[in-house]
């Protein structure tokens, strides 16, 4: 139980009203109609202010005023709806003491096949089997052994009644609670059918219905428990305990007791219990549970680690940066659990349809049982599609047909068809590093007609890097980098960082010392190296120094540039720009830095925000999956935008856009193409993300703002997850449609066959109820087998792993 300190309302003394929230597990509440029954029961309890019921997780979160009611009353109301409460705080205890009790996030695993309900079902099945044996195969031994109201009871009848008592009483009990809560659901329909069949002496039908329906319920419980397993696996990623350093000693404590700022120790093979920043040690960490990355990531001092990831090799110490309840993994779990609360359009349609379907079929069942015996005096023969059918006024036969329609009236299969698909899809995505914050977003993503991609941080890495080094004259690449690094080492510009990083990698630590450093605002820098002044900066800086960069060959002569034709060039160290390196780099959208003195150019360095290796493949894959229009939106200049767009293969690009102009661009795409998904960084692109039908944040691991802003978050900086997301969503929509229409189609066919005598009670239960419920659940579970393409982080090519 948790206390809600921000509850609205006040006491007579003017203070805030205290509210408590009971978080309870209700494993048997596994369908929308079950939740509806529980909700109606809770509505009758005075003092309950908010109720959140989640059938797919089997949990109930109930907020109440402790001055007006108690958790014991909440539990009693749920049990009054016919469902057992498991876990939560002690319902009989004092509320003050229960505030610290642990709540539940998902119902515990069920022992479906050995539960009390299962044992009663197996006993009923045994009675039914032996009864059928006496009824049809040992008729001579099926003697009368008792009578009720002068009606003889044979051995088979007694066995059938035993089956009804063993397997049917739990059904009738549930039906009673449904009637009590005025809920027209499957339990009420089946309970009524069992009682009616037993009351008129149709013991075979009553026993068959009781046993088969009980088996169907067990199978549905098993299927739902399997569906919950995927969420349980997600919740079990984070360890319950952490090893922390306190007073110089290692102490193992519950993870939720670790405070922000404490040092946590993780050894090889251990799971990382909280989010934090490494302060000592180096290791490879498998963070696929959070970001979906298939390859372990090297971690060293200063790097972030996430709760739920696995330390594979070395020893690590990290400083906890968030409490266990606020870790990235906790946020993922919380949002996956809450995702089911946002109903998709399909769910809304099904709920509305079920509200009309069930009462209509119940009325048809009553009319089927009552009208034909009254209006058919003599047998009537009818030829339908070449098949002859005879209808007689036998009231018992029509009663059975009405009973069968009553079974078919249950909307369970198509009511659960959408929620189970949504949960399967969302949990599968979460385990692959994609956080979908609602079933409505899952459905919307599968219907988008165009995808808009921000450039920086989405198609590109968002970090500048040296892409090309061109040595001029008699120098080499290493010399160019060493001189450039010497000049840039006092600069804090991102371009300087890129040059220093490349120099450290390719030129080592042999960087010349400098004197008389000077920053030339907006153009570059200069400094003395070995007594000579060197410059690094834009081409415009060197044009001011007297270089004619437009000519094919350049020769410096005391600071004056002399133009010389190629065939007349006498210097071997001539600054040869004949291949148009500067213009070529600029056309490719790269930033050009020249390095040299006032008399000689020694090299050219090209710098760019590198395109993600997987970007081109991701865009191509989106086209393959059926996305007709992929558009790049960027604030960069036309040349850079054009170069990146051509490289990654988008259909069009729009450059030099301010944040509000990106909103206009999204609206224009919506008007031109239809539904649009926008992919951005989740912060700067927030207005555009909010405008699109689906907003997707890149690289949201550990970024609270990104997780909160977008409808969907790609937890790692992996653009290759975008095609996976679209493919999963598109497939999920197909699965939902298959489930809904196949359920309705089978129900319709069975309903048409009932008046013709082609469908028995057993067929209605096995095919119409049990079969379709298992079918839609199994169909939904295949979404969990969809996995993203594995791509090499360096080449962007599919690895096949």
Quick one: average pLDDT of 534-562? Answer: 66
Q: How far is CA 481 from the centre of its chain?
A: 46
Please report the pLDDT score of residue 725 as a whole number: 93
DSSP per position, 631-678 = EEE-SS-HHHHHHHHHHHT-SEEE-S--HHHHHHHHHHHHHHHSSEEE
pLDDT value of residue 334: 72
pLDDT-based confidence at 7, cuts 50/70/90? very low
* Least confident piece of the model among 98-112, 283-297, 749-763: 98-112
pLDDT at 509 over 90: no
Whole-angstrom distance, CA of residue 239 vs CA of residue 700: 22
* Mean pLDDT on 663-684: 86
Beta-bridge mates of residue 16: 10
Sign of CA dihedral 754, 759, 763, 767: negative
Return the top range by mean pLDDT from 321-325, 461-465, 561-565. Answer: 321-325
Kindly report which listed range (5-19, 437-451, 786-800) carries the lowest average pLDDT score: 5-19
Pairing of strands 712-714, 310-311: unpaired
Residues 6 or more apart in contact with residue 477 via CB below 8 angstroms: 469, 471, 506, 603
Residue 89, pLDDT score: 47
Whether the per-residue pLDDT at 488 is higher than 80: the answer is: yes
**Quick check: 66 pLDDT over 50?**
yes
Q: Do strands 297-299 and 434-436 pair parallel, antiparallel, or not at all (unpaired)?
A: unpaired
- Looking at the predicted structure, is the pLDDT value of residue 161 above 70? yes
Higher-confidence residue of 489 and 229: namely: 489
Gyration radius of the chain's alpha carbons: 36
pLDDT of residue 228: 73
Q: How far apart are CA 107 and CA 130, in angstroms?
A: 37
Place 164 in a pLDDT band, splitting at 50, 70 and 90.
very high
C-beta pairs of 651-657 under 8 Å, 24+ apart in sequence: 657/633
Q: Is 680 helix (H, G, I), strand (E, B) or coil?
A: strand
Q: What confidence score (pLDDT) does residue 390 get?
A: 58
Q: Does 143 or 388 have the greater pLDDT score?
A: 143
Give all strands of the β-sheet with 297-299 in edge-to-edge order: 297-299, 283-286, 310-311
Q: Comparing 56-70, 105-119, 408-422, which segment has the lowest mean pLDDT?
A: 408-422
pLDDT at 239: 81
pLDDT at 576: 52
- Find out whether 50 and 1 touch, Cβ atoms under 8 Å: no
- For residues 309 and 739, what is the distance between their CA atoms, to the nearest angstrom? 36
Length of the chain: 801
* pLDDT higher than threshold 80 for residue 338: no
Cα dihedral sign for 207, 210, 215, 216? Answer: positive
Per-range mean pLDDT, top range of 220-224, 248-252, 456-460 = 248-252
DSSP character at residue 134:
I
pLDDT at 653 over 90: yes
Confidence of residue 263 (pLDDT cuts 50, 70, 90): very high
How does pLDDT run across 315-329, given as a tens digit for each residue?
999 999 988 888 877
Judge contact between 362 and 409, C-beta under 8 A.
Answer: yes
Of residues 296 and 227, the one with the higher pLDDT is 296
Is the pLDDT reported for residue 264 higher than 80?
A: yes
Give pLDDT, residue 294: 56
How far, in Å, CA of 333 to CA of 343, rounded? 18
Secondary structure letter of residue 45 according to DSSP: S
Q: What is the pLDDT of residues 597-623, one digit of tens each?
A: 988 888 899 988 888 888 999 999 999
Residue 549 CA, chain-centre distance (Å), reads: 54
Q: Are strands 151-154 and 144-148 parallel, antiparallel or unpaired?
A: antiparallel
The answer to whether residue 404 scores a pLDDT higher than 60 is yes
Checking if the pLDDT of 148 tops 80, the result is no
Contact 681, 706 (CB under 8 A): yes
> Which of the four pLDDT bands, split at 50, 70 and 90, describes residue 179?
confident
Per-residue pLDDT at 158 exceeds 70: yes
User: Which residues lie across from 19 on neighbouring strands?
Assistant: 4
Is 688 within 8 Å of 633 (Cβ atoms)? Answer: yes
Inform me whether the pLDDT recorded for 657 exceeds 90.
Answer: no
CA distances 201 to 47, 160, 207, Å, are 47, 11, 11
User: Can you name the residues that pair with 557 across neighbouring β-strands?
Assistant: 560
Q: How far is CA 158 from the centre of its chain?
A: 52
Distance CA 612, CA 699 (A): 13
The torsion of the CA quartet 742, 743, 749, 750, rounded to 10 degrees, works out to: 150
Q: What is the pTM of this model?
A: 0.67
Question: pLDDT at residue 6 above 50?
Answer: no
Average pLDDT over residues 54-83: 87
| Reported confidence tier of residue 400, pLDDT bands at 50, 70, 90 | confident
* Cα–Cα dist 736/1, whole Å: 35
* 265-289 per-position pLDDT tens digit: 999 988 899 999 999 998 888 877 6
DSSP assignment of 525-550 equals EEEEETTEEEEEE-HHHHHHTT--TT
Average pLDDT, the chain: 80
**pLDDT of the residue at 629:** 94
Share of the chain above pLDDT 90, in %: 19
The answer, yes or no, to whether residue 570 has pLDDT greater than 70, is no
Cα 456 to Cα 178, 463, 572, 597: the distances in Å are 57, 8, 41, 34
Dihedrals φ, ψ of 470, to 5°? Answer: -120, 115
Banded model confidence at residue 573, pLDDT cuts 50, 70, 90? very low
Sheet containing 629-633: give its strands across.
434-436, 712-714, 694-697, 676-680, 450-454, 629-633, 652-654
Question: How far apart are alpha carbons 570 and 46 in whole angstroms?
Answer: 100
Dist. CA 611–CA 604, nearest whole Å: 21
pLDDT over 50 at 151, yes or no: yes
**Which residues have a catalytic role annotated?**
454
Which comes out higher in pLDDT, residue 1 or 280? 280
- Residue 663 and residue 678: Cα distance in Å, rounded? 10
Q: Are 435 and 428 in contact (CB under 8 A)?
A: no
């Amino acid at each position: 139980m948790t206390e809600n300190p921000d509850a609205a309302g006040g006491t007579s003394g003017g203070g805030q009203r205290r509210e408590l929230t009971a978080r309870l597990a209700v494993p048997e509440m596994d369908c929308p109609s079950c939740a509806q029954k529980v909700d109606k029961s809770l509505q009758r309890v005075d003092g309950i202010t908010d109720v959140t019921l989640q059938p797919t997780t089997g949990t109930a979160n109930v907020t109440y005023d402790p001055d007006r009611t108690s958790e014991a009353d909440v539990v009693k109301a749920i049990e009054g709806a016919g469902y057992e409460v498991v876990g939560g705080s002690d319902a009989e205890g004092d509320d003050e003491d229960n505030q610290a009790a642990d709540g539940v996030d998902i119902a515990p695993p069920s022992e479906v096949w050995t539960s009390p309900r299962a044992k009663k079902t197996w006993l009923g099945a045994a009675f039914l089997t032996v009864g059928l044996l006496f009824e049809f195969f040992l008729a001579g031994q099926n003697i009368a052994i008792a009578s009720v109201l002068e009606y003889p009871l044979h051995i088979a009848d007694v066995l059938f009644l035993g089956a009804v008592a063993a397997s049917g009483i739990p059904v009738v009990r549930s039906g009673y609670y449904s009637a009590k809560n005025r809920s027209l659901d499957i339990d009420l329909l089946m309970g009524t059918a069992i009682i009616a069949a037993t009351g008129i002496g149709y013991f075979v039908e009553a026993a068959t219905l009781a046993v088969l329906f009980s088996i169907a319920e067990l199978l549905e419980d098993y299927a739902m428990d399997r569906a919950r397993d995927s969420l349980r696996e997600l919740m079990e990623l984070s360890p319950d305990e952490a090893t922390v350093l306190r007073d110089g000693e290692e102490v193992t404590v519950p993870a939720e007791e670790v405070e922000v700022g404490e040092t946590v120790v993780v050894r090889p093979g251990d799971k990382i219990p909280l989010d934090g920043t490494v302060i000592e040690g180096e290791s490879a960490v498998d963070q696929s549970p959070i970001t979906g990355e298939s390859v372990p990531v090297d971690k060293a001092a200063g790097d972030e680690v996430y709760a739920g990831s696995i330390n594979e090799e070395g020893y690590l110490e990290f400083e906890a940066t968030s409490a266990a309840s606020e870790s990235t993994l906790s946020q993922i779990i919380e949002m996956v659990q809450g995702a089911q609360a946002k109903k998709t359009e399909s769910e809304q349609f099904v709920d509305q349809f079920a509200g009309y379907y069930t009462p209509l079929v119940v009325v048809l069942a009553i009319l089927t049982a009552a009208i034909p015996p009254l209006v058919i005096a003599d047998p009537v023969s009818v030829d339908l599609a070449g098949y002859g059918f005879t209808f007689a006024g036998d009231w018992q036969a029509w009663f059975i047909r009405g009973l069968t329609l009553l079974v078919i009236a249950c909307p369970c299969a198509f009511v659960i068809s959408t929620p189970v698909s949504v949960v399967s899809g969302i949990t599968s995505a979460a385990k692959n590093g994609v956080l979908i914050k609602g079933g409505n977003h899952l459905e919307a993503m599968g219907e988008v007609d165009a995808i808009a991609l921000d450039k920086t941080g989405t198609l590109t890495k968002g970090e500048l890097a040296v892409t090309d080094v061109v040595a001029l004259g008699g120098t080499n690449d290493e010399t160019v980098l060493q001189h450039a690094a010497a000049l840039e080492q006092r600069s804090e510009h991102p371009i300087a960082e890129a040059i220093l990083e490349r120099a450290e990698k390719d030129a080592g630590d042999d960087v010349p010392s400098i004197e008389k450093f000077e920053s030339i605002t907006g153009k570059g820098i200069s400094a003395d190296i070995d007594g000579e002044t060197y410059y690094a900066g834009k081409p415009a800086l060197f044009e001011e120094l007297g270089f004619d960069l437009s000519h094919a060959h350049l020769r410096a002569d005391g600071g004056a540039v002399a133009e010389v034709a190629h065939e007349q060039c006498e210097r071997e160290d001539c600054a040869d720009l004949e291949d148009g390196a500067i213009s070529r780099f600029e056309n490719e959208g790269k930033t050009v830095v020249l390095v040299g003195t006032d008399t000689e150019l020694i090299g050219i360095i090209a710098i760019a925000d590198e395109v993600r290796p997987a970007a081109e493949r991701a865009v191509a894959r989106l086209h393959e999956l059926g996305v007709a229009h992929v558009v790049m939106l960027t604030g960069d200049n036309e040349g850079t935008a054009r170069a990146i767009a051509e490289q990654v293969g988008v259909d069009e690009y729009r450059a030099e856009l301010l944040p509000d102009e990106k909103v206009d661009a999204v609206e224009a795409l919506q008007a031109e193409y239809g539904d649009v998904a926008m992919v951005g960084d989740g912060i700067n692109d927030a207005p555009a993300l909010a405008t699109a039908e689906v907003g997707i944040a890149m690289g949201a691991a550990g970024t609270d703002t990104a997780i909160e802003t977008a409808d969907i978050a790609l937890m790692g900086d992996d653009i290759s997850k975008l095609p996976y997301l679209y493919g999963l969503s598109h497939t999920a929509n197909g699965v939902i449609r298959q489930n809904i229409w196949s359920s309705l189609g089978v129900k319709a066919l069975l309903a048409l066959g009932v008046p013709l005598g082609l469908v028995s009670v057993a067929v209605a239960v096995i095919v119409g109820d049990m079969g379709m419920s298992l079918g839609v659940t199994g169909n939904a579970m295949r979404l969990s087998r969809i996995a993203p393409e594995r791509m090499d982080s360096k080449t962007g090519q599919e690895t096949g792993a």
